[in-house]
Amino acid sequence: MVWCSGWRLASAVSNAGALGIIGSASMYPDVLREHIQKCKAATNNLFAVNVALMYPDIDKLMEIIIEEEVPIVFTSAGNPKTWTSVLKNNHIKVVHVISSSKFAKKAEDAGADAVVAEGFEAGGHNGREETTTLCLIPLVKEAVKIPVIAAGGIASGKAMAAMFALGAEGIQMGTRFAASIEASGHENFKRKIVSISEGDTMVSLKKLTPVRMIKNKFFEMVKEAENRGASEEELKQLLGRARAKKGMFEGNLDEGELEIGEISATIHEIMPAAEIVKEVWKEFLQTKNEIASLNTDD
């Protein structure tokens, strides 16, 4: 997660037995190298790096990932064709993030080892088709043979069990971890995540790249511009280059872009990442057992 998942969060999640992911989207190449090296020092478990392909310097980021022998890369927001084979030739597992079964197929054809199927509920950048997670997972399961990791609107063990019931082989959580102690987002942002309610996020900036964010002053500025038919160029200028940093990293809750998912409405506490993993896993197992007991005849 851009501005939220550095080595501290990634290593805490990996140490807790899940797969921590460093989000490279906010990082210059030398910063990414530092995060990878610190993550290696902080955990002996597997971790991954996410590369959002829409940002600059991708070739430099990939060079570092290969040099540092990162075991798994999650690519998103771009064409999986370009980088999958390069990474795989360097013995790196590749997971590509998609929001439709059409792109899932493309990722499979490009040689990806798995896909993250991310529904419209998710925080951050969203698919244009607006397919919700509940509809997306069965569609993607039908379309591809590679493992499907469900994302979007998952913050509990019950939701995880629901995704497994739909055929997913794993889940990815963003919003829940953005509200963890180890997330690198600003305290103001974390406190905002745990205080907002149902209906407080919306997808905006559809003329550029659709993004789900908290409805704050910046969101209202975008809405006003969109309502009067602002051009792509004007919206680009309004967004600028540092909106997300201003909001999520510097904690400016009015002027910044605050990317977060719908499921934030159910999150009420900023917790250590390890506790989140433990709680979700325990609830997942409990739910699985409860569902299994429904199948008995008595």
Ligand X SMILES: Cc1cc2nc3c(=O)[nH]c(=O)nc-3n(C[C@H](O)[C@H](O)[C@H](O)COP(=O)(O)O)c2cc1C
User: Which of 152, 157, 247, 256 forms a contact with ligand X (CB under 6 A)?
Assistant: 152
Tokens matching residue 220 = 């209202």
Distance of CA 285 to the CA centre of its chain: 23
The whole-angstrom separation of Cα 197 and Cα 189 is: 14
Residue 244, classed as helix, strand or coil, is helix
Nearer to ligand X by C-beta: 98 or 143?
A: 98
Of 6-14, 61-69, 151-159, 218-226: span binding ligand X (CB under 6 A) = 151-159
Site track 68-97 with ligand X (rule: CB under 6 A), x = hit? --------x--------------------x
Residue 151 CB, shortest distance to ligand X, in Å, is 4
Q: CA-based diameter of the chain, in Å? A: 64
User: Which of 11, 14, 43, 50 forms a contact with ligand X (CB under 6 A)?
Assistant: 50
Residues 36, 58 contacting (CB under 8 angstroms): no
In the sheet with 201-204, reading across from the earlier edge strand, the strands are 124-125, 211-214, 201-204
Q: Does 178 bind ligand X (CB under 6 A)?
A: yes
Q: Does 200 bind ligand X (CB under 6 A)?
A: no
Q: Does 20 bind ligand X (CB under 6 A)?
A: no
Of 100-108, 217-225, 258-266, 282-290: span binding ligand X (CB under 6 A) = 258-266
- Residues β-bridged to residue 21: 48
The whole-angstrom separation of Cα 143 and Cα 102 is: 8
Contacts of ligand X in 95-134 (CB under 6 A): 97, 118, 121-124
Q: Does 257 bind ligand X (CB under 6 A)?
A: no
The whole-angstrom separation of Cα 80 and Cα 103 is: 9
Q: Does 276 bind ligand X (CB under 6 A)?
A: no
DSSP 99-127: SSHHHHHHHHHTT-SEEEEE-TT-SEE--
Residues 81, 110 contacting (CB under 8 angstroms): yes
Residues 156, 266 contacting (CB under 8 angstroms): yes
Q: Does 182 bind ligand X (CB under 6 A)?
A: no
Q: Does 58 bind ligand X (CB under 6 A)?
A: no
Q: Does 173 bind ligand X (CB under 6 A)?
A: yes
Nearer to ligand X by C-beta: 178 or 277?
A: 178
Nearer to ligand X by C-beta: 225 or 258?
A: 258
Tokens matching residue 168 = 């997913």
Residues that bind ligand X (CB under 6 A): 1-2, 4, 23, 25, 50, 52, 76, 97, 118, 121-124, 151-154, 172-176, 178, 248, 259-261, 263
